[in-house]
Amino acid sequence: MFSTTLESAFVSDTVRKFLLDGPKKLLIGGKWVDGQLGRTFHSIDPATGQPLAEICEAGEEDVHLAVQAARTALDGPWRNVSPAERGRLLWQLADLIEQHSEELSQLESLDTGKPVTETSFVDIAFTVDHFRYFAGWTTKITGETLPVSFPGSYLTYTRREPIGVVGAIVPWNFPLMITSWKLAPALACGNTVVLKPSEMTPLTAIRLGELVMEAGFPPGVVNIVPGYGQSAGAALSKHPGVDKITFTGSTRVGRDILQNSSTNFKRVSLELGGKSPNIVFPDADMDAVAGGIMMSIFFNQGEVCCAGSRLYLHKRIYDQVLAKVCERAQAIRQGVGVDPSTQMGPLVSEAHMQRVLSYIEKGRAEGGKVLTGGTKNSDQGYFVQPTVLEATDDMFVAREEIFGPVLAVMPFEDVSDVVQRANHTEYGLAAGVWSSDVKTALQVAHALKAGTVWVNGYSLLDPVSPWGGFKQSGIGREMGRYALEHFTEVKSVWLNLT
Ligand code: NAD
């Protein structure tokens, strides 16, 4: 029985038809095919726990066929597509995504559980921006001439060439948007791609595959293999025909991917977990602070790699800000993601909800004080209340990535105290600083070990600005021109002129 959410007036006929018209197939070499395993799995509606759609499962053999198709496209038609034409194709894809944004927003919302207002204004809008941004790069990927001192006369120059076949492995929290972070630069640089979406949220990747074909990309340039991490994901990261892996997901799986990739020394870029500090000084604009804190931890149900899950409040404003945060957390309207009035949806799966609840229990057991929330919020679906918890730095809830709507709050004394404590983590993805004194703000921003620091804001992303982590939050940078370095090889050419 398929999910009752599909019957609601919020779901369009187009989306309903797409979901029920299954099982969804794999995209290999430009054709939609059944998996070699002959098995299917279901994508589950997190608001009800019922199936949304049936999907063919990709296994090792399918990954192999997809890699072969990507290699054939790389050595064949794709090699002859000019940079300008690659840009035009990427732009065409962005236009198609934009034209289908309502449908894609609903699909993403159904599959992940998150509010449709967020999927339309963030996930899908950013995906479009990303493809457009990298469409502009195709004709600007250049080398340089080098003044070598070698005796004689030489013209020495560099070229940036595609790396080859890229394996892209994507998580479930921003399925389409994070796919675009990988596909757009990979294709802009002339690579071909085998994409493995998360087994929990494969729907927008499958719909994207249809739009890729409609845009006119040659067969095999983009291949899509929905399947499980242990099988399809591991097969991709081990495959000798894959030249690069671009991965976003947990630090634990990132470590496996790094090991598996060593078989043929694949190029690897990793965007991993975080436990980001959000630091508020007493001279900050308190109205902006309250909204910023809510955004930093409760946006996307807290299922955000850069969630500001460790809130450091200066002791002078601790009580005042905490009271405001709790009040606002209690006012958040939870509901089915496709309902436009919903402010927070369910967590992505039963297992994830249980994990988040167990973290909260552990916080309680260690002496943390739950000020608001702290439990499941409905008999049906995977809803967890927005939770605020007073903690200390050594507690599990203040150290581990929870990946849910759980905020650990701690007071601090001064700049050196808070910087040292904020940096005391194995992660280093992002951080927030709130102060109206530019000296304090920048002093702290420069001292924090994090790939991105927001001052008087939070969760701001743009295709122009590089994204990635220090320490165990990752290797490499996505977005901006920095991404191009991870999708190209540099070649030096020496021409003897004597
Ligand atoms: P996950 O690591 O469990 O899975 C991510 C992807 O890897 C999925 O497609 C999964 O099927 C696949 N996978 C799992 N095991 C694999 C294996 N052995 N080999 C190859 N692939 C495998 O992560 P998740 O639960 O989907 O996402 C949540 C995590 O992602 C959090 O830790 C979060 O911080 C992180 N994340 C990071 C960023 C970032 O930009 N740094 C962005 C979003 C999410």
Q: Is residue 147 part of a domain?
A: yes
**DSSP class per residue in 99-160:** HTHHHHHHHHHHHH---HHHIIIIIIHHHHHHHHHHHTTGGG----EE----SS-EEEEEEE
Ligand 1, atom 23: closest residue by C-alpha: 249
Return the best residue to mutate from 57, 111, 123, 169 for the ligand 1 pocket (most ligand atoms within 8 A of CB).
Answer: 169
Q: What is the pLDDT of residue 2?
A: 81
- Which CATH number fits the domain that encloses residue 318? 3.40.309.10
Ligand 1 binding pocket includes 112 (Cβ within 6 Å): no
Choice from 239, 253, 299 to test ligand 1 binding pocket (greatest atom count within 8 A of CB):
253
248 pocket-lining for ligand 1 (C-beta < 6 Å): yes
Distance 254 CA to ligand 1 centre (A): 8
103 Cβ inside 6 Å of ligand 1: no
Q: What is d(CA 460, CA 472) in angstroms, rounded to the nearest whole number?
A: 21
Pocket test for ligand 1, best of 177, 231, 237, 250 (most atoms within 8 A of CB): 250
Of ligand 1's listed atoms, the one at least distance from the Cα of 478 is: 40
Nearest residue (CA) to ligand 1, atom 14: 229
Q: Assess whether the C-beta atom of 226 lies below 6 angstroms from ligand 1.
A: no
> Does a structural domain hold residue 328?
yes
Tell me which residue has its CA closest to atom 15 in ligand 1: 229
- Most informative mutation of 63, 194, 237, 248 for ligand 1 (most atoms within 8 A of CB): 248
Q: Is residue 84 part of a domain?
A: yes
The series of mean pLDDT values per 10 residues for the chain, 498 residues long, is 88 96 96 98 97 98 98 96 98 98 98 98 98 98 96 96 98 98 98 98 98 98 98 98 98 97 97 98 96 98 98 98 98 97 98 98 97 93 98 97 98 97 98 98 98 98 98 98 97 97
Atom of ligand 1 nearest to the CA of 228: 11
Expressed in angstroms and rounded, the spacing between residue 237 Cα and the centre of ligand 1 is: 13
474: left (phi over 0), alpha (psi -120 to 50) or beta: left
- Claim to verify: residue 388 and residue 479 sit in the same structural domain: no
- pLDDT score at 22: 82
Residue 435 Cα, ligand 1 centroid: separation in angstroms?
Answer: 34
Q: Please tell me the distance from the alpha carbon of residue 65 to that of residue 308, in angstroms, as a whole number.
A: 41
User: Is there an atom of ligand 1 within 6 Å of 305 CB?
Assistant: yes
Residue nearest to atom 19 of ligand 1 (CA): 234
Give the helix/strand (H/E) hosting 419. helix 415-422
Q: 225 in a domain, yes or no?
A: yes
Residue 99 counted as domain residue = yes
Half-sphere exposure of 238 (CA within 13 A, CB side): 12
Which atom of ligand 1 sits closest to the CA of residue 429? 41
**CATH number for position 162:** 3.40.605.10
CA 9 to chain centre: 29
Task: Please tell me the distance between residue 146's alpha carbon and the centre of ligand 1 in angstroms.
Answer: 40
Is residue 271 among the annotated active site residues? yes
Q: Please indicate whether residue 193, judged by its CB atom, sits closer than 6 Å to ligand 1.
A: no
Q: Which residue has its alpha carbon closest to ligand 1 atom 39?
A: 271
> What would the two tokens of residue 461 be?
């992303």
Q: Is 384 in the pocket of ligand 1 (CB under 6 A)?
A: no
* Cα-Cα-Cα-Cα dihedral sign, residues 432, 434, 436, 439: negative
| Cβ of 233 below 6 Å from ligand 1 | yes
Beta strand extents in 236-361 (DSSP E only): 244-248, 267-271, 277-280, 310-314
Q: Which residues on adjacent β-strands are paired with residue 239?
A: none
Whether 232 and 317 share a structural domain? no
Q: Is 235 in the pocket of ligand 1 (CB under 6 A)?
A: no
Do 253 and 304 belong to one domain? Answer: no
**Are 205 and 335 members of one domain?**
no
CB 65 within 8 A of CB 397: no
CA angle, 338 then 344 then 345, to 5°: 55
40-60 as b/e: b if 16+ CB within 10 A: bbbbbbbbbebbbbbbbbbbb
Same domain, 183 and 322: no
Ligand 1 binding pocket includes 478 (Cβ within 6 Å): no
Q: Are residues 444 and 479 in the same domain?
A: no
Cα 262 to middle of ligand 1, angstroms: 19
Asked if residue 267 and residue 172 are part of one domain, the reply reads yes
Question: Is 3 a member of any domain?
Answer: no
Judgement on whether residues 397 and 327 belong to the same structural domain of the protein = yes
Whose CA is closest to atom 13 on ligand 1? 229
Residue 77 and residue 156 share a domain? yes
> Does residue 311 sit in the same domain as residue 198?
no
Instruction: Single out the catalytic residue among 305, 306, 390, 401.
Output: 305
Nearest CA to ligand 1 atom 31: 250
Please tell me whether residues 334 and 226 are part of one structural domain: no
Is residue 250 situated within a structural domain?
A: yes
pLDDT for residue 144: 98
112 Cα to the center of ligand 1, angstroms: 14
Q: How far is the CA of 81 from the centre of ligand 1 (A)?
A: 33
Q: 237 CB less than 6 Å from ligand 1? A: yes
User: Domain range spanning residue 456?
Assistant: 277-463
Is 469 inside a domain boundary?
A: no
Mark whether 39 and 176 lie in a shared domain: yes
Overall domain count for the chain: 2
Question: Where are the extended beta strands (E) located within 304-447?
Answer: 310-314, 369-372, 387-390, 406-412, 430-434
